[in-house]
Structure 1
Amino acid sequence: MSISHIYTVQMCSGTHPAHNLKQLRELLETQTLMQPALVCLPESWLAFCETPQQTLVQAEESLNWIGQIQQLCRDFDIWLAAGTIAIKDGEGRYYAASLLFNNEGKEVARYNKIHLFDADVADNAGQYRESTLTRAGEHVTTVASPFGRLGLSVCYDVRFPGLYQVMREQGAEVILVPSAFTTVTGDAHWHTLLRARAIETQCYVVAAAQVGHHENGRQTYGHSLIVSPWGTCLAEASTQVGIIHAQVDLAELHAIRQKMPVAAHNRFKSDFYE
């Protein structure tokens, strides 16, 4: 099947997983989901905590929450790209793990965020140090699915195009970028970065985002996007909680690649992310 349906859920997540799961279920209940359906969630959607220490505590219960997420997949007959969930690394830290579940609730892929956001930003937080308790991932993840070959990434990764070139070399056709961009960096760079990744890889890019003023004091940009392999914005959310939808047409993707075979022309192959 060359055409499938992708939905991105824009959320304003709080610090309590049960509340965020309830928000997600209520949003899904507003939709008539066309099949096959891939639903994409933002970064930190399950628990957008105030401190890394609180996130580590939440990671203790990750198996419980994953069980509920798996049931959600079965209830709605959806594949679910579950943004990021904190999962313990066994050494006192946690991974920002992006998990992909099929419509039977089976976990079919996992990607641990590679690039950690340690930066100073001119917003109310001022400073971000994701590496305090987050362990960086080391492996690129692409996986076959009914929606094409998916490449998994998270938020700050989008600033490192080498990662996406490797995904393209591994056959990626749809790239996921669950995010919690700050309002400052989002206003400056969000659209440009996502469209650039789509254009240079000739992939669909799907970016589910956090939005608004959060319980943890953060302010996030929103504007969830679904971008075509030509760089066209197929769907965009505003600054409200909600769901956007677009069709993915793999035949159109391969027509674009055939007309402009940039992957074949690329003389700079990467062997870093292996």
Structure 2
Amino acid sequence: MVTCIALAQMCSGIDPVANAQMLRTYIDEAAAKDADIIFTPEMTGLIDRDRSRATANIRTEQEDPVLNEACAAAKHGNIWVALGSLAIKPDGEETGKSVNRSFLIDPSGEIAARYDKIHLFDVDLSTGETWRESAAYESGSEAVTAKVMGATLGLSVCYDLRFPSLYAALTGAGADILSVPAAFTVPTGEAHWEILLRARAIEAGVFVVAAAQSGVHEDGRATYGHSMLIDPWGQVLLDMGTDTGVATCDIDLQDIAKVRSRIPAIANRREFALPKVST
């Protein structure tokens, strides 16, 4: 089964309305290119490290202009949208924190799946940059898969990429395409982005689709770009470099079975006892 995948590489800014308009342009372009699905990056709707300014722009799902625009564009273009993630204000109990939430939107404009980023990026880099994602976001607690176009899509977000146990759970649940939307920093992107994406594809014989943020953003941060599509053998089918825009690539889902017949890693997985801790 051949599927046309579109990736949107973005340089999202501090204004969700402007980001929503750009997203609409990208979804319309993907639909015009006859893509079946478009993948967008982490924080498609807002990148702003000024916490107070960002908080003022974070909305609930019902009020979020980017989510509403994505749903309308999906319906207009009759296209699936894997919306990498948005900063969302949770309904219900007030915690003072948002969630970093990924959405899968079907061609009727309805939300088919949601995933809240599990692994949050807290780090001090040698460049002097400090990131404390947990200061603003609550972590998710549930892995998510969803059916899309005859395939099973496993959802993840950015820093999740460094935790192979999550992807083992997703592929163990039947995922044959993994979505890894991201906003990698330049130093970590140069060192680890491609090798980690290829590893996730190779270890389970799956397609990996990774839409990324790229460039210098309005808030001053710089992201790595290089949105990628990796096949089940670990080959890079698409690398978008650093330019923003939309690119498409066809995949054949039958390649998954072909690769797994050569290296049946999932079928050969075994449960095992953990080592005892010495005292």
- What TM-score do you get using the length of structure 2 for normalisation? 0.91
Cα 1:170/1:61, change in 2 over 3 Å:
closer
Number of residue pairs aligned between Structure 1 and Structure 2: 267
Secondary structure at the residue paired with 1:14? coil
Q: Is structure 2 residue 68 aligned with structure 1 residue 67?
A: yes
Question: Could you give the per-residue CA deviations for residues 224-252 of structure 1, whole angstroms, max 9, x where no partner exists?
Answer: 00000100001110111011222221111
**How big is each residue's C-alpha offset from its partner over 1:101-142, in whole Å with a ceiling of 9 and x where there is no partner?**
00111100000000000011234x610000002000000000
Distance 1:222 1:269, change over 3 A: farther
In the aligned structure 2, how far is the partner of 1:160 from the partner of 1:146?
A: 27
Q: Determine whether 1:142 maps to 2:142.
A: no
Q: Could you say which residue in structure 1 is the equivalent of 2:277? A: none
Q: How does 1:1-274 map to 2 (within 5 A)?
A: 2-31=1-30, 32-35=32-35, 37-60=36-59, 62-64=61-63, 65=65, 66-89=67-90, 90-91=93-94, 92-123=96-127, 126-146=129-149, 148-268=151-271
**Cα-to-partner distance string for 1:170-220 (whole Å, 9 max, x where unaligned):** 000000000000001000000000000000021100000000000011100
Letter in 2 for 1:231: G
Q: Which has the higher mean CA deviation after the structures are superposed, 145-154 or 60-69?
A: 60-69
1:34 partner amino acid: D
Contact 2:60/2:89 (8 A) holds in 1: no
| Cα shift at 1:29 | 4.2
Percent identity between the two aligned chains: 37
Contact 1:206 1:225 in 2 (8 A): yes
TM-score (norm 1): 0.92
Distance across 2 between alignment mates of 1:19 and 1:147: 34
User: For structure 1, which runs of at least 5 residues remain unmatched after alignment?
Assistant: none
Contact preservation (8 Å) 1:86, 1:97:
yes
Partner amino acid, structure 1, of 2:269: N
Q: Which consecutive unaligned segments of at least 5 residues does structure 2 have? A: 274-279
